[in-house]
Amino acid sequence: MRGFFNFAWCIRGRPACPRGAEADWAAGPFFVFTFGIKIRRPMQHADTRLTRLAREVVEPMGYELVGVDFFQRGGRGGALLRVYIDREQGITLDDCAAVSHQLSGALDVEDPIGGEYDLEVSSPGLDRPLFTPEHFARFRGHRVKIRLVAKQDGRRSFEGIIGELQEGSVSLEIDGTVVELPFAAVESARLVPEF
């Protein structure tokens, strides 16, 4: 597992030099600092094995497992495993660190991910992600932003108020019109904070 910060020495003619750094002005040390900004493909929810493993670590610690996202990043960026946790009192940095430490150990033992990846443990935040039909039911009447895997009615992005839940779909009220979206077509869904 790699950290979030990457530092590299740039020495003229060495592979660690970024393009164009071979000029005389860049012949000395050159530090590259990245903070998770990578080109990435569309996010997909983690498979049940990763979710099960995360749940087995998170819930005994007294937290709610909100959801797990896993996606590959382009280039040599590896992958990102993002775990959202919550509890009634809210989440602190110490909570995230404790879960990250425990989950990291479990991931090292189970080794469910081939190759390099970054582990991120986070609170769901104000723009809370919705992963399951139960999440949509819990936040019925709230504003949500949904992105679909493929276009429906000529578009992939929808924003509206969560309405009725049917078997396999959710209805959104968008400017007085009700739109039915199948759960199987949802790529991502997040609450829209209202201030």
Q: Could you tell me which residues come within 8 angstroms of residue 167 by beta carbon, excluding any fewer than 6 positions away? A: none
Rounded to the nearest integer, the mean pLDDT of the chain is 79
> Phi and psi dihedrals of 129, rounded to 5?
-75, 145
Q: Span 68-83, mean pLDDT?
A: 84
Residue 99 CB burial class (10 angstroms; 0-12, 13-18, ≥19)? buried
Q: Is the pLDDT of residue 106 over 90?
A: yes
* Three-state DSSP state, 15: coil
Question: Per residue in 124-160, pLDDT tens?
Answer: 999 999 998 999 999 999 999 999 999 999 999 999 9
Q: Which residues of the chain does CATH 3.30.300.70 include?
A: 44-122
Please give, one letter per residue, the 3-state secondary structure of 136-166.
HHHCCCCEEEEEEEEEECCEEEEEEEEEEEE
Question: Per residue in 32-58, pLDDT tens?
Answer: 233 333 322 333 455 688 999 999 999
How much is the pLDDT for 8? 29
Question: Nearest CA to 2 among 47, 34, 39?
Answer: 34
Strand partners, 83: 68, 121
Question: Nearest CA to 117 among 98, 104, 131, 106?
Answer: 104
Q: Which CATH class is domain 44-122?
A: alpha beta
How much is the pLDDT for 115? 81
- In percent, how much of the chain has pLDDT > 90? 61
Question: Per residue in 9-24, pLDDT tens?
Answer: 333 333 333 344 333 3
Q: Which residues of the chain does CATH 2.30.30.100 include?
A: 133-191
How much is the pLDDT for 32? 29
Q: Which CATH class is domain 133-191?
A: mainly beta
pLDDT bin (cut points 50, 70, 90) of residue 74 is: confident
pLDDT bin (cut points 50, 70, 90) of residue 195 is: confident
For residues 118 and 76, what is the distance between their CA atoms, to the nearest angstrom? 12
